[in-house]
Amino acid sequence: MKINMLPKNPLFGPFEKLCQSLTIILAICYSFNNRLKSQNKQLVDNYAKNNINIDHLYSGVALPICDLTIILEKDYHPDYYIAGMHSVKGEEYINYTDTLLFKTNAWLIAQSYEVFETFLKDIMSNYLVESQDYVTKNEAKQFVRKCFRGKNNRELLKCMRNIAPLLNCFEKINSRGIDLKAWYEAVSKIRHAVTHTNSFILKKEIQGTFTTVSKYFSLSESNGGYLLTIKKHETTKAIECFGEYALLIYKCMSLSKNYKWENENTKST
């Protein structure tokens, strides 16, 4: 039996927006990693070429802030106070490159998580409007944000699996051979650590998911927990995985409404 597919897919907008955001994050990852490593190599080579002791290398940064209680007259600039200092020198400076890369890579994964979360809420809102459960997108968005507030979007994803049963199947069995449910729980740990604990995870917080987290992301044991030491290739793979997970959700939800999900961008090559 032939199924009539609707010509316009109202679910495509949130997916397209997500892909644009992930592309920018991916570009930042490549640019920052490549440039910082290249810059460091040139610096070390220059010191060696000119026979300069690397211990003389020094870099620092200060945090200037002003006292907001002081009312200034016209044409006067505020007085600044040094609220914090951070400095590195010599070999420590060279080694600190890795620390910067680890923190930036983890931060980019956290940003990917955030835009993916927005995608989940937006595509569900559009779905509800098209199902005529709500008149406007704003009403639908308010409902989604109010009623699907579970940790790591579990309730929202569960609802999607109910309305699009294919999703539940392909989350576990897919061409990547990855359990997307377990992966999403693991990446949520990364996002939480970046946002709340300066890229540090306590052992007790990762006890049940350590195997999965360590499978996809590098960790360094430290002081009763783990520091995130995420590499460039792990970051790019996570960004791609967010995109593939979103495509799966978009496709399954589209098919559940008989929407045409393919266009010139989503067709396989």
Give the 3-state secondary structure of residue 69: coil
pLDDT for 138 beyond 60: yes
User: What does pTM read for this prediction?
Assistant: 0.86
Closest CA to 153 of 242, 266, 257: 242
Q: Residue 62 corresponds to which tokens in the numbers above?
A: 């200060």
pLDDT for 5 beyond 50: no
Q: What's 151's DSSP letter?
A: G
Rounded to 5, what percent of the chain is helix, strand, coil?
60, 10, 25
- Per-residue exposure over 46-66, b if at least 16 CB sit within 10 Å of its own CB, e if not: ebeeeeeeeeebeeeeeeeee
Q: What's 135's DSSP letter?
A: S
Please give the single-letter amino acid code of residue 86: H
Whether 216 and 189 have beta carbons less than 8 Å apart is answered as no
Beta strands in 67-163 (DSSP E): 80-89
Q: What is the pLDDT of residues 110-122, one digit of tens each?
A: 999 999 999 999 9
By CB atoms closer than 10 A (0-12, 13-18, 19+), residue 77 is exposed
Domain boundaries of the chain, sorted by first residue: 12-60+90-256
Per-residue pLDDT at 133: 66
Residue whose entry in the numeric block shows the structure tokens 């020094």: 58
Q: What is the pLDDT of residues 140-177, one digit of tens each?
A: 888 888 887 778 899 999 999 999 999 999 999 999 99
Whether 123 and 12 have beta carbons less than 8 Å apart is answered as no
pLDDT for 7 beyond 80: no
Closest CA to 117 of 81, 142, 153, 68: 153
> What are the C-alpha distances in Å from 102 to residues 3, 42, 97, 176?
49, 20, 9, 25
β-sheet bridge partners, residue 82? 64
> First-to-last CA distance in the chain?
27
